[in-house]
A and B are shown apart, each in its own frame.
Chain A
Amino acid sequence: MGVDSSLRDRFEHGLAAPICLTWELTYACNLACVHCLSSSGRRDPRELTTAEATALIDEIAEMQVFYINVGGGEPTMRRDFYDLIDYAVSRRVGVKFSTNGTRIDAAAARRLAAMDYLDVQVSLDGVDATTNDRVRGAGSYTSARRAMDELAAAGFGQFKISVVITRENVAQLDEMAELASHYGAQLRLTRLRPSGRGADVWDELHPTRAQGRELYRWLRERPDVLTGDSFFHLSALGSPLDGLNLCGAGRVVCLIDPVGDVYACPFVIHDEFLAGNVRDAGFATVWRDSELFASLRSPGSAGACASCGSFDACRGGCMAAKFFTGLELTDPDPECVFGHGEEALARRRGVAPTSGSDHSRRVRVALSTR
């Protein structure tokens, strides 16, 4: 079930405010997932202060951003985490936060269960420790499961389990659904992008085209599974997947990072997609006046995809996937279901861009050497 094309067109041209936005509260993280899109680990000394964060929430509330997705790094590592999410909710801004679960103990779960307008999303990248911990680190599966048990015990209600789909876990889709069902949780699958540390492991971990087709078929049969419109590139395979089926970056969503930088989306933390900083003149000014956002909101060229009959279904795919694999934004998506992306990758010259923003705690190593 796709969305009316005139509605998509209007969204492509931008809105008065984001519908929702991702706010990475901190680059600090107590895990070191191989594919971390924000290359998190070490806290940045220039992090927004509590006062700055509170003022930002005020602006977000005044703009009527409907809800915020709070992440990081690991957002619970900020000392003012609960103060900030309490404040957002009190200002009628809904909050979903994404967590590795390491700090969701019984007391935290009870505190969260007592809050309204709060959504919790626990990250998990496999249905067993072997699969999950290879990507997220030793002990991470156990922590995530413990967090889910605590949320259930505290009567939190429905939370989300968020899985980044990789070549190694795509065979576990049914088991993931069962796990979510066990907790009465919502399963959410998202696309691995070559962003942040994801660039180091993308070649080895991104699903094959055959797996992409399998995933598409599975999602078509499971409309209850959320995707964050993450797989709209697969909509070229047939009837569109649920969602707007278009890139929301700078149009309906954006990212605010821990030091106040505003990017088009969490998957393009790179100067090329930096719209401004909230410390200059606030967030609303950036959303409204940024040149980057104005250019994203004006009709783009279909480029190499112009002659493809499926362009309307996939709109040429994901900017982040193209940018960080060294493709042009007018090239096909590297995971184009028809293989046009693979052709474009083969023709590539030069080195893919890397983000200057790297807060990793240690030298990044390839997956195969771990």
Chain B
Amino acid sequence: MVFGRARLVSTSQPAAELPPWEQGPYSIKRHGLSISNCDAEPVQTPGCIQAHGAMLVMRRDDRIIVQVSENSAAILGAAPELLLGASISVVVGVTGELRLRDLMARTATDANPLYAFTMEPRGDAAPLDVSLHTIDGVAIVEFEPVAHGGGIPKDGYELVKAAVGRLRGATDLQHFCTIVAEEFRELTALDRVLVYKFHEDGHGEVVAESRRDDLSPWLGLHYPAADIPQPAREIFRQLWIRPVPDVDGELAELVPLVNPDTGRALTMTYCALRGPSIMYTEYLRNMGVTAGVTMSLRHGDKLWGLIAGHHYSGEAHLPLPVRAACEMLAQIVSLQHQAVEAQEFLGYRLKLEGVHQRLIAQAAREGGLAAMMDGPPMLLDATSATGAALYANGRWSRVGVTPGDDELDALARWIATRTEFQSPTLPVYATDRLADAYPAGASLTAVASGVLAVPLSRSRRSLILWFRAETAQAIRWAGNPDDKPTVPGPHGMRLTPRRSFELFLESVTGRSLPWQSVEIDMALRLRTFVMELVLSHAERVADLNAELVRSNDELDAFAYVASHDLKEPLRGIYKYAHQLRDDAALQGAEQTVKLERLMRLTVRMDSLLDSLLHFSRVGRMALTMEVVDLNSVLAEAIEIVDARRSERRNEIVVPRQLPTAFCDRIRVREILTNLLSNALKYNDKPVCMIEVGFAEPHEQGNTTGRPAGTRGLTAYYVRDNGIGIESRHADQIFNMFKRLHGRDEYGGGTGAGLTIVKRLVQRHGGEVWIDSVPGEGTTFWFTLAQATEH
């Protein structure tokens, strides 16, 4: 296609033997047929030019000629031996020398060939276009016969301007490339112009072409990476245009081959006349090409592709103005191509970003990443993925066609070990051929030939995966890409370019369409969004917690202030009632009773307020958890209720030693104190019998009301032979200030004791319940730990 294709062949010369030019300077003419590896050919120092022109190399400062192309007699009228050591004025005259000197002084000529002037013809020869550039301390002067292109307009600027105007009308990248092919063909009048794109793996594809009607189309054909060797690609990162006007043209070697001042080979990268590799001209010849020109299509420093012109009907000498126009157009096309591509990406990008932002809003509103999968919109919208899976909070959410949960688990574990997935900056894994890297992927090709994955958490356990199904593909190769022709050469087998360009169809399995860079970018952006969302969620929880602490504190303060403010009038009421009662002793018993009633009410109100305060404190205080011997706690509790015990006959029985428990000693003592005190109070039997015990997890413990969640825990009980509680009241006894009996029956009380018991048990994570038979007694049960089951 464009350049000679060759590969290192195992039957080539022994590795120990150096290439012949390693012992001296390289020249295509002398060594060009000994190449066994195109990637090693020194194409920038070929030592030869194309013989339709001539070249002189002079020192910058004194303009003395140091190297001459061997064909100088034919083109310039003087043999090399006459020119070497002479001033350039011998060839271009004194005026010409002055103009070249001025050009070097006024303009940046380094690596930048510039047209200097046209030399008058000698006799019947054509006039010569003279151009100059400097490099490595020397000036290279090139002489080319002026070409007479039929009907070529003279003004390069006008040509470029018209072409740029038409390129601006491109609707998309494909259209743009087609216009590029047409414009360059118009400009060069060659038989065929191709726009050739490099894929990620280096192989090329013809994405646009303009051709003479009778030629067969090459559009959509693929060419192996080796067709354009690495050194050629390197040159096109530096050079905009490379003409080979006569594929069958002779080569002229430089005399001498190395610069006599420096002993080094001449760098000819920027020479229009630079001699082409023999592999290249053979390759072109195999395709029937008689003349060619190649221009580069770059995005910044990256070689995106090439614009290649082929001619099949003899030499094609492009006049200098046309080449200048091509060079300028190639640069403009490169810039615009990049802009058009960015534009096309931008449209897709905006669509994806729109969907992603709505997904994030949805997840934020519904408080869970899984909401991103519920849709609409959905993770699959706007992308060309065929399935997606999200792993968050220990489970998979799936949409579209994806592997099953088990397969996803295994795949996620494998992806987590990929180095690209562990990158601190751009953690992403993308492939269009999963089974090549992941053996278990072989059975998944139908749904997951392509995988794109980004982690959603630092631990990389949470992640999003997009899938692409296998796409049945057939690559249209121009010739069998595995064809490696060799022929015998002077140093063993040597490579030759491919001779067959017959359409060769390769069917490809286990592959999806590749992930575009914009899709990978958007996956990474979605990841950033999600991580911000998770972070802001955590911040909100922290804010709410702080808020809760403050409102708890405020509530606490409020309880104290309220009780203080309520108690003050109570004290006053009591005081004046007390004083009145003292005075009323004279007035009669009736008033005395009323006043005493008033005083009792205030005292009762006072204890209600105290209970309320105590209850609020129980809910707030931090527990001091430790391993506690419940026997000693019970002993303390019994001591506390001693005063009440002295009021009636009673007996407290502990059938077996209590175990130890992990709990807050003081709070558990309060639980026992309240339950014992209740048992002593609500009893009408002659002897009040109380039993304190426990049931271990494996014991039934003779209870009916046990909540399911407490199975597996030790339950403690306080059993009495008291008045019992009717089952219809069982739910109410734990309510604040709820009393089942008259205020002054059974020793009175505020009705807060059991509420406080329940709160204390709950603070331990436990539960409290009762078994009771009215008239026979009640058993209060409680646990002191969080149930682990359920």
Q: Do A and B come from one complex?
A: no
Using a CB–CB cutoff of 8 Å, the interface residues on chain B facing chain A are none
Task: Give me the interface of A with B, judged by CB distance under 8 Å.
Answer: none
